[in-house]
Amino acid sequence: MKHRLHQPLRVTHDYDDILHFPHPIPAHLPPLSRTSRAAQFAPFAALTGHDEAIYEAARQTIPRPDPDETVLQELDRRLAALRTRLTEHPQVQLTYFVPDAHKAGGALHTVIGTVRRLDDINGLILLQDGTQIPLGDVTAITLPDTLQIDF
């Protein structure tokens, strides 16, 4: 019986004449590792950064709170009470507005910490852990012996 490659081919499709030839392997190139071959078929991100842009557009922010006069007076009263107790290094709960770095608005953050000092020159509340909170961004102060007021 003759080898199949030496038989005359009967063309029934466009590629029947080369369908059963052995795969050519170049002698001058080493074979690729399985990992390198698989890397050829790795997913391709045609729109680099598109997912991040969609996430950023969908991310919610809130406008900066605009407290009324009574809330501002209550915050001033609590800040004065905090000043009188600074030598005790009281633990407080502070809620403050953090502006968003990429879009309009921001978010409210709440932190519980021990007050180290009030920096009136720079308008900051300094906590023992190094957190610095701008006084103008504070929306609520809770001292151990007071009730919390939010707006």
Q: What is the pLDDT of residues 13-37, one digit of tens each?
A: 777 778 788 888 888 888 888 988 8
Tokens at 148, concatenated: 């919390």
Give the pLDDT score at 5: 56
Identify residue 41 by its one-letter amino acid code. Answer: F
pTM listed for this prediction = 0.62
pLDDT at res. 12: 67
% pLDDT > 90, the chain: 47
> Any idea which residue has 């390198």 for tokens?
36
In 3D space, the residue among 25, 51, 83, 66 whose CA is nearest the CA of residue 151 turns out to be 66
Distance between CA atoms of residues 27 and 31, nearest Å: 9
Separation CA 14–CA 64 (nearest Å): 70
Total Cβ atoms within 10 A of residue 81:
15
